[in-house]
Chain A
Amino acid sequence: MNRQIVKLFGFIVVLFGILVGFTSYWSVFDAEALKEEDANKRPLLEQQQVPRGRILAADGTLIAKSVAKGRGSGKRYVRRYPEGALFGHPIGYSFVQYGDTEFEQFHNEELVGEGSEFSSIVDELLGERQEGNDIVTNIDTEAQRAALTDLEEQGFGAVVAIEPSTGAVKVMASNAPFDPNRVPYEFSKLASDGIERPLVNRATQGLYPPGSTFKVVTAAAGLDSGVITPETPIDAPGSLEVEGTPLENDFGEDFFGATLDTALTNSVNTWFGQLGQQLGNDTLFEYLERFGFNAKPAIDLPEDEVEESGVWDIEDNEVLTSSDPVDLARLAIGQERLLATPLQMAQVAAAVANDGTLMKPQIWKRVVDPDGRTVETMDPSVYSKPISSETAAELTTAMEGVVSEGTGTNAAISGVLVAGKTGTAETPGNEACGGGADENQAWFIGFAPADDPQIAIAASVECTEQFGNDVAAPIFADVAETILNGE
């Protein structure tokens, strides 16, 4: 019988081997996938056991904190947002039942203090409880408040303000706003599909036709590629037949022999339309991409909450590239099927302001551990160098004309030189606006002071019957002034 006993033992060794195999699979090899399962609430519940770090504005204003609830083994931490809706975007929220969004999601690891497995073992042996790190953001509380208040007066839309030399995001406001504290109580109402859609961050997810603000990109491409100089004259008639339909200037005005300054100051459609045609697909798309179009912005927000700007083929839900046929003249003036987020247009202004260098936009400034030590600081990094500093300087001169004597005079700030560009895209029948016939998307992008840029801003208002200079330019001026005065 002994032979059989040895064989039986061998069989049991195999059985136990299977147990070890399955345990390894669940606990190690498939562990990451299991943690992502919807049915698995454990990771969220565990995070709730850890006091999540605070989020602060640049001036120290408390944006988010965790408060303890319950006692003993039932003790858990719940998120509170003392300023309510002010920082709803771009901070988002973090609740066990509803998950994490926006900044809270992107910086989750720092906020819960997750280190390597090894360091957590060491902590365990030392009996140290896991604790989250605080994050100080670049957000300027007063400017954020100004932006949101202005937007609430003008209509739905968004404002983004970036420090050109570092990419520090100082303002990201989106109207309709939401109060993150309300999420656990009225989530379905906030998430409903109406016109307001308060949970959508319009600064990064609002895809709008940029209209004439895009002429800055077209002009940059023309100058930088050498197709034109600031002195190159182009005959721009009041109306021009393009692809079977006439392209017209405001009031049908003719601009014969106009140079860049005149064309940008007066936002001459036929001038830029012809420039676009001269540039051709390859050159125009090359500059589009250099400025950040056709890619998700490199900002510290979750990728699925940031939209890609570009020429959108809505039916196929994709962004067109240089090999696709497009109406160049209309693309050059921000029409065609071009859609851009306020964040993207702020990046355009910031690149011109920063001598032609585009920095990666970053909301966070530094991570501070529970003992108050700064463990990490945002290191400004270059996204691209779309244009030369010479081109940037020439463009700045033209953009100064827009504010001093052109279509964007409401953006002027007394005592400060401002450079910018207005935009008014007609969006008749836009369902998001209720389908009115005279609805526009109003824009202003620009930076100040033009001779020493401290801040670059894009302001965009949807569903307005007015023009960029009427609704968007004043927001620019107010926000820029708040930021400049604060420094």
Chain B
Amino acid sequence: MTSARNRELLALVPVALLLTAGFAAVFSQENDQLDNLSLIYGAYFLAICLATHIYLRIRLPDADPYLFPLVATLTTFGLVMIYRIDETLARDQANWFVLGLVLFALTIQLLRDYEVLERYRYTIAIAGLAVLLAPRLPGIGQQVNGAYLGVKIGPLAFQPAEFTKIAIIVFLASYLREHREVLIVGARRVLGVTLPPLKHFGPLLVVWGASMFMLVFIRDLGSSLMFFAAFLALLYVATGRFSFVVIGMLMFLLGAWFFASTVPHVHERVEIWLHPYEEPENAGYQILQSIFAQADGGLFGKGFGQALITVPGTDNALLPAAQTDTIYSLIVNEVGLFGAVGVVLVYLMVTARGFKIALLASDGFSKLLAVGLTSVFAIQAFVIIGGVTRVIPLTGVTLPFISYGGSSIVANFVLLALLLLISDRARREAEEPAGPMAAMGAPA
């Protein structure tokens, strides 16, 4: 069991190297403008990673050894990119990173028996949806690019959707664990299509309603897509009915199509996606510049610190929202296709480890929770990378662990903590088959 932690420690070595190399590259590139102090941040970052590793050694000795190093890789990479954009942003981000790890530790400390979440599932779901509405409240709500995504209370701003995603997954995992049997057994075949039983489907329709609501009321196409896709993934895993997924997708597309033609903000996003060259200087500017930045990167990129983010001599953005939405395009520009594929592979490896945890977990709730958390993470990465590469309309979702943003970092560390909690228990039980839980739900 300590071998898992040893592997984790070993996997942190390349993270340290990447961090050192990245910071050194950016630093040497712009040493005329940066002070030496900023290099010390790199050292701090490494110390924090090591502390986290020691904490995991004590609290979760059997947890998956690769997840934390993979996430540290993403965070490091993100930190280097943000450091390269703006020194002060990188300091903020490092602070958020520390806060994220504090919440990470707190989650592990307080939720050792994470089943308690099941008991409060309705409370969690309602709280999660309630904070989503906060951005529309006068006084604290903030509108960004026509979407209501943020809340600002005093100096503190946060994006509730990042936290809601965890709440919704907890609720769905718990609800589906309890009702998956009836959803399967109660299904009726109508005209050759297997339909879910209406009675038990009601609460799930609420999820669809919530997604549509987000689309209309919060105008957040990206989060809406992310939530609903994670829901469908969970529904599929829980019931094994592909037809449910198809029905769900049709419902979403129908709803999205209806609102795309009636809600101007959503309609515009889709139009820009389809015809970016119509207004290259206005509406289409961000997506076009995102693609131009990628074209400029080529196979190997221009090198750290080499990309143009603003028009030289002015403050006009050449790559708008480079530290958040379009950070992936900046990555392609600076480290090329090879570097970008590396980033995508890291996301894929995190996903693989997450699903591995779900496979190992013995009880239904743990399984579904691991699947849900992993799916929502992977889909979030897909939604934003897909957005800046014009696979789907571009929406304001963060790239997990890489983009600048406190809410995103903190929420994703909580997500990671939950995954590691599930993993620790699952792996321990897998190694001690005589354990009391093993008898109740042996791995299928």
Point out residues on A near B: beta carbons under 8 Å: 1-9, 12-13, 15-16, 18-20, 22-24, 26-28, 30-31, 34-35, 37-43, 45-46, 48-49, 69-70, 72-76, 117, 121, 124, 127
- Indicate if the CB atoms of A34 and B237 lie closer than 8 Å: no
B318 partner, pick from A8, A42, A75, beta carbons under 8 A: A42
Q: Which residue on A lies nearest to B331, using beta carbons? A: A23
- Indicate if the CB atoms of B240 and A27 lie closer than 8 Å: no
Say yes or no: is B298 at the interface (Cβ < 8 Å to chain A). yes
Say yes or no: is B247 at the interface (Cβ < 8 Å to chain A). no
Say yes or no: is B332 at the interface (Cβ < 8 Å to chain A). yes
Q: Which residues of B contact A18 (CB under 8 A)?
A: 386, 391
- Indicate if the CB atoms of A23 and B300 lie closer than 8 Å: no
Cβ proximity bits B90-125 to A, threshold 8 Å, 1 near / 0 not: 000000000000000000000000000000000000
Q: Which residue on A lies nearest to B336, using beta carbons? A: A27
Known: A8-B233, A16-B347, A117-B298. A34 touches B312 (CB 8 A): no
Q: How far is the CB of A44 from chain B (nearest CB, A)?
A: 11
11 new A-B pairs (CB below 8 Å) besides A38-B280, A70-B313?
A5-B371, A19-B385, A20-B344, A37-B288, A40-B288, A42-B296, A42-B308, A45-B308, A69-B313, A124-B302, A124-B303
Say yes or no: is B182 at the interface (Cβ < 8 Å to chain A). no
Known: A27-B294, A34-B292. A74 touches B337 (CB 8 A): no
- Dominant SS at the B interface? helix
B292 partner, pick from A2, A5, A28, A40, beta carbons under 8 A: A40
Task: Enumerate B281-327 residues with CB–CB distance to A below 8 Å.
Answer: 281, 284, 288-289, 291-300, 302-303, 306, 308, 310-314, 318
- Indicate if the CB atoms of B382 and A19 lie closer than 8 Å: yes
Say yes or no: is B33 at the interface (Cβ < 8 Å to chain A). yes
Say yes or no: is B358 at the interface (Cβ < 8 Å to chain A). yes
B340 partner, pick from A23, A37, A38, beta carbons under 8 A: A23
Q: Which residues of B contact A16 (CB under 8 A)?
A: 344, 347-348, 378, 382
Q: Which residues of A contact B300 (CB under 8 A)?
A: 117, 121
- Indicate if the CB atoms of B237 and A4 lie closer than 8 Å: yes
Say yes or no: is B238 at the interface (Cβ < 8 Å to chain A). yes
Q: Which residues of B contact A40 (CB under 8 A)?
A: 288, 292, 295
Complex CA gap A237/B154 in Å reads 103
Q: Which residues of B contact A7 (CB under 8 A)?
A: 236
Q: How far is the CB of A41 from chain B (nearest CB, A)?
A: 8
Known: A40-B292, A45-B312. A72 touches B390 (CB 8 A): no
A1 partner, pick from B238, B311, B314, B340, beta carbons under 8 A: B238
Known: A5-B359, A45-B318. A19 touches B344 (CB 8 A): yes
Q: How far is the CB of B326 from chain A (nearest CB, A)?
A: 13
A-B contact pairs, 8 of them (CB 8 A): A12-B348, A12-B351, A19-B344, A23-B341, A26-B295, A35-B295, A38-B280, A42-B293
Q: Which residue on A lies nearest to B390, using beta carbons? A: A22
Complex CA gap A15/B232 in Å reads 15
- Indicate if the CB atoms of A26 and B389 lie closer than 8 Å: yes
- Indicate if the CB atoms of A28 and B240 lie closer than 8 Å: no
Known: A28-B337, A39-B288. A46 touches B296 (CB 8 A): yes
Complex CA gap A240/B386 in Å reads 78
- Indicate if the CB atoms of A42 and B292 lie closer than 8 Å: yes
Q: Which residues of A contact B312 (CB under 8 A)?
A: 45, 48-49, 70, 73-76
- Indicate if the CB atoms of B295 and A30 lie closer than 8 Å: yes
Q: Which residues of B contact A41 (CB under 8 A)?
A: 311, 318
Say yes or no: is B444 at the interface (Cβ < 8 Å to chain A). yes
Complex CA gap A5/B237 in Å reads 6
- Indicate if the CB atoms of A19 and B308 lie closer than 8 Å: no
- Indicate if the CB atoms of A31 and B295 lie closer than 8 Å: yes
Complex CA gap A121/B297 in Å reads 12
Complex CA gap A70/B315 in Å reads 13
Complex CA gap A19/B399 in Å reads 13
Say yes or no: is B277 at the interface (Cβ < 8 Å to chain A). yes
Q: How far is the CB of B115 from chain A (nearest CB, A)?
A: 18
Q: How far is the CB of A187 from chain B (nearest CB, A)?
A: 19
Q: Which residues of A contact B390 (CB under 8 A)?
A: 22, 26
Q: How far is the CB of A257 from chain B (nearest CB, A)?
A: 71
Q: Which residues of A contact B337 (CB under 8 A)?
A: 23-24, 27-28
Point out residues on B near A: beta carbons under 8 Å: 28, 30, 32-33, 233, 236-238, 240, 277, 280-281, 284, 288-289, 291-300, 302-303, 306, 308, 310-314, 318, 332, 336-337, 340-341, 344, 347-348, 351-352, 355, 358-359, 364, 367-368, 371, 375, 378, 382, 385-386, 389-391, 443-444
- Indicate if the CB atoms of B375 and A27 lie closer than 8 Å: no
A-B contact number at CB 8 A: 153
Q: Which residues of A contact B291 (CB under 8 A)?
A: 26, 34
Known: A1-B237, A35-B296, A117-B298. A20 touches B386 (CB 8 A): no
Known: A8-B375, A16-B348. A34 touches B295 (CB 8 A): yes
Q: Which residues of A contact B351 (CB under 8 A)?
A: 9, 12
Q: Which residues of A contact B444 (CB under 8 A)?
A: 1-2
- Indicate if the CB atoms of A27 and B237 lie closer than 8 Å: no
Q: Which residues of A contact B281 (CB under 8 A)?
A: 39
Q: How far is the CB of B226 from chain A (nearest CB, A)?
A: 12
Q: Which residues of B contact A27 (CB under 8 A)?
A: 294-295, 297-299, 332, 336-337, 340
A19 partner, pick from B277, B292, B386, beta carbons under 8 A: B386
Complex CA gap A34/B389 in Å reads 13
Q: How far is the CB of B243 from chain A (nearest CB, A)?
A: 13
Q: Which residues of A contact B238 (CB under 8 A)?
A: 1
Complex CA gap A48/B311 in Å reads 11
Q: Which residue on A lies nearest to B297, using beta carbons? A: A27
- Indicate if the CB atoms of A23 and B358 lie closer than 8 Å: no
Complex CA gap A70/B237 in Å reads 58
Q: Which residue on A lies nearest to B32, using beta carbons? A: A72
Known: A15-B382, A19-B385, A46-B308. A72 touches B240 (CB 8 A): no
Q: Which residues of A contact B314 (CB under 8 A)?
A: 74
Q: Which residues of B contact A117 (CB under 8 A)?
A: 298-300
Q: Which residues of B contact A39 (CB under 8 A)?
A: 277, 280-281, 284, 288, 292
Complex CA gap A19/B443 in Å reads 33
- Indicate if the CB atoms of A8 and B340 lie closer than 8 Å: no
Q: Which residues of B contact A30 (CB under 8 A)?
A: 295
Q: Which residues of B contact A31 (CB under 8 A)?
A: 294-296, 298
Max count, chain B CB within 10 A of own CB: residue among A35, A48, A69, A73: A73
Q: Which residues of A contact B292 (CB under 8 A)?
A: 34-35, 37, 39-40, 42
- Indicate if the CB atoms of A5 and B355 lie closer than 8 Å: yes
Q: How far is the CB of A476 from chain B (nearest CB, A)?
A: 47
Q: Which residues of A contact B347 (CB under 8 A)?
A: 16
Q: Which residues of B contact A26 (CB under 8 A)?
A: 291, 294-295, 332, 389-390
Q: Which residue on A lies nearest to B291, using beta carbons? A: A26
Q: Which residues of B contact A15 (CB under 8 A)?
A: 378, 382, 386
Q: How far is the CB of B289 from chain A (nearest CB, A)?
A: 8
Complex CA gap A38/B306 in Å reads 23
Q: How far is the CB of A175 from chain B (nearest CB, A)?
A: 36
Q: Which residues of A contact B30 (CB under 8 A)?
A: 73
Q: Which residue on A lies nearest to B385, using beta carbons? A: A19
Q: How far is the CB of B363 from chain A (nearest CB, A)?
A: 11
- Closest A-B pairs by Cβ, 9 of them: A39-B280, A34-B295, A22-B389, A31-B295, A26-B294, A74-B313, A4-B237, A124-B303, A76-B312
Complex CA gap A27/B237 in Å reads 36
Q: Which residues of A contact B289 (CB under 8 A)?
A: 42
Q: Which residues of B contact A2 (CB under 8 A)?
A: 359, 443-444
Q: How far is the CB of A47 from chain B (nearest CB, A)?
A: 11
Max count, chain A CB within 10 A of own CB: residue among B293, B312, B390: B312
Q: How far is the CB of A394 from chain B (nearest CB, A)?
A: 58
Complex CA gap A72/B336 in Å reads 25
